[in-house]
Structure 1
Amino acid sequence: MTTWLPSLITETPQEGYDLAVKLSRYAVKLTQPDAAARDRMRPDYAEDANSLIAVSQVVATHFATVAAANGFWKDAT
Structure 2
Amino acid sequence: MSEVWLTSLLTANPQEGFELAIKLARMGVKYTQPSAEVRDRLRPQYGSDANALIASSQVVAINFQTIAAANGYWRDVR
TM-score by length of structure 2 reads: 0.92
Runs (4+) of structure 1 exceeding 6 A deviation are none
Q: Which runs of 5+ in 1 are unaligned?
A: none
- Cα drift, residue 2 of structure 1: 1.9
Looking at structure 2, the residues matched to 15 and 74 of structure 1 have their Cα atoms a distance apart, in angstroms, of 15
Give 1:12's aligned amino acid: N
Residue 21 of structure 1 aligns with which residue? Answer: 22
Instruction: Count the aligned residue pairs.
Output: 76
Give the direction of change, closer, same or farther, for the CA distance of 1:75–1:34 in structure 2 (3 Å limit): closer
More off after superposition, 64-73 vs 28-37 = 64-73
Give the direction of change, closer, same or farther, for the CA distance of 1:35–1:69 in structure 2 (3 Å limit): same
- Cα drift, residue 74 of structure 1: 4.3
Percent identity of the aligned residues? Answer: 61
Residue 30 of structure 1 aligns with which residue? Answer: 31
- The CA RMSD measured in Å over matched residues stands at 1.5
Deviation string 1:33-72 (CA, Å, 9 cap, x unpaired) is 0000000000110110000000000000000000000011
The yes-or-no answer on 1:67 pairing with 2:73 is no
Give 1:47's aligned amino acid: S
